[in-house]
Structure 1
Amino acid sequence: MDKVRYRTTPDSAISLIEGDYHEFAFQRHYHLDFHLGLITQGQQRFAYQGAQHQVGHGELVIMPPDELHDGRSLAESGYQVRVFAIEPDWFNQHLELARPQQMMSFDRLIVSDPQLFSRLCHLHQALAQPSLSQLAKDCLPYEGFSGLVQRYGASKERAPVALGRQSLATLKEYLLAHLDQAVRLEQLAALCDLTPTQLQRHFKARTGMTPYAWLSRLRLEQGMKLIKTGISGTEVAQQVGFYDQAHFTKAFKHTFGVSPSAVGHCQ
């Protein structure tokens, strides 16, 4: 049976996932955050940038934000994973990148490093403990992730994804400000100074998704962030543009494998 648990941590920019997946398969999607996945049992298969990848016990997957991918178990026995979801700006703020326009990147998708894997597993367990001391809450993420960055990370310039006269980042900002409204294709096309047909073609070529599918995922990603802050499912559904809580709950569970009410909070 599939089991998954989402948790917040004392740092609002970092959240945790504990997953035991057998039948549940992630369809093509993206995240707003970095997802660092520690495979603690079994093997996972996923598609990323046109290639198929496998990752197994003791390996770490580093999935950057806004990158399209899927995921499923390689065998019927399933796989277990512990995931850190980290907002991109956390690295800028805590690891002092040279300039704000830079972003963190990593030189590999899959990391096989037993020492680092063990350290990050212990960090994941520690951050899930509500009894963690305040000083530990403040220091442990820096200690854990700085090792990862020192070995495999580098800063790079943020490369804008062009959509007509705008960028995908600009479009994302616009949509995040209007998630509770009915957005029309003509609005987005006008924002980018493109025709609706041109926008659909350019958007699919650059993201691998239609504008509708991309916006639907954005609504659910933002919904997850709001649920983690303790806002009720009814209010979140309204804020991210769902007609009612029932539709939001159904889409949320289909996407994340749990209902909004099952997302946990660490005190």
Structure 2
Amino acid sequence: MDKVHYYSTSNQDISLIQAQYQEFAFQRHYHLDFHIGLITQGQQKFVYKGTSYHAGAGQVVIMPPDELHDGHSNLKSGYQVNVFSVSPQWFQDLAAPKAINHTLSFSELILSDHKTFSQLHRLHELLVSQNVSQLAKDCLPFEGLSTIVDRYAQYVSKSKLQLGNQSVQTLKEYLMANLDQPVRLEQLSDLCDLSTNQFQRHFKNKMGMTPYAWLSRLRMEQSMRLIKSGVCGTEVAHQVGFYDQAHFSKAFKAAFCISPSKIS
């Protein structure tokens, strides 16, 4: 049976997931944040950059933002995972001044590090607990997540992925500002000073998915952020371009294995 619980924290840059997945399979998708998953039981299988990976109990998966991957159980019995969803900017701030003019990433995708796993597992438990003071919850992420930054962070020069005469980041910002609008292919190709065919070809080559699929996921990622910030489902649906609450709820559940009304 699939069971998923999402938790907000006092820091809007950090949220938590506790989940048991058995039948649910994540299709190819990306996140806007880092997802740090602690496999507590079973085995997860996923494809990342064309390579298939397995992660089992006691291992940590660090999935960077904007990278395509899928995910499903490697066993009929399913797998259980605790996840930290952390904004890239929070990690950048944590690493400063080392990250000035550089982008923070991690040297390993899967960590087989018992000490790190135990520390992060304990941190997740404390942030979910009702018996921990608010000040402690405010301070604990800095202490707990510093571990993986100190041990596994690497810093690479900032670079812009180009599509025509625009960066992908500029394109993302444009779409984020127009999620509630019926965006047309011509608008995107004109923005990049490319023909529609050139734009689609370059986009698919660089991003690994169609512009429509990319925009659809961007809408889902933003809807999750809005739901967790307390915006009601009907308003969220309108803000991300759905004019029918039923269709929005169906798309949301297909993406996250949970209804928007169940997000705490």
Task: Decide: shared fold, TM above 0.5.
Answer: yes
- Give the aligned partner of residue 83 of structure 2: 83
CA distance 1:101–1:224, shift in 2 (3 Å)? farther
Aligned residues: 264
CA distance change for structure 1 residues 136 and 95 in 2, over 3 Å: closer, same or farther? farther
State, as a whole percentage, how many aligned pairs show the same letter.
60
Residues 43 and 78, structure 2, Cα contact 8 Å, conserved in 1: yes
Q: CA RMSD in A?
A: 1.1
Determine the C-alpha separation between the residues in 1 that align with 2:231 and 2:130: 20
Over 3 Å off, 4+ runs: 97-101
Q: Conserved in 2, the CA contact under 8 Å of 1:242 and 1:248? A: yes
2:43 is matched by which residue type in structure 1?
A: Q
Secondary structure in 1 matching 2:117: helix
CA distance in 1 between counterparts of 2:101 and 2:151 reads 22
How far apart, CA to CA, are the structure 2 residues paired with 1:101 and 1:131?
A: 40
Structure-2 residue corresponding to 1:126: 126
2:189 corresponding residue in structure 1: 189
The SS at the match of 1:198 is helix
User: Contact 1:91–1:97 (CA<8 Å) still a contact in 2?
Assistant: no
Q: Which residue of 2 aligns with 1:38?
A: 38
Matched residue, 1:105? 105
CA distance in 1, matches of 2:100, 2:168: 18
Q: 1:97 to 1:30 in 2, by over 3 A?
A: farther
Q: Residue in 2 aligned with 1:9?
A: 9
Q: C-alpha separation between the residues in 2 aligned to 1:77 and 1:135?
A: 38
The answer to whether the 8 Å contact 2:94/2:146 transfers is: no
SS in 1 for 2:24: coil
Give unmatched runs, 5+ long, in structure 1: none
> How big is the shift at 1:131?
4.1
Shift of 1:157: 2.2
Question: Does the CA contact (< 8 Å) of 1:97 and 1:155 recur in 2?
Answer: no
Conserved? CA contact 1:10–1:137, under 8 Å: yes
In structure 1, the partner of 2:144 is 144
**Structure 2 residue ranges without an equivalent (≥5):** none
The one-letter amino acid of 2:62's match is: I
Structure 1 residue aligned with 2:161: 161
Q: TM-score, normalised by structure 1?
A: 0.96
Specify the alignment match of 2:211 in structure 1. 211
User: Deviation string for 1:64-111 (max 9, x for gaps)?
Assistant: 000000000001010000000000000122332445542211111000
Give yes or no for contact 1:20–1:78 (8 Å, CA) kept in 2: yes
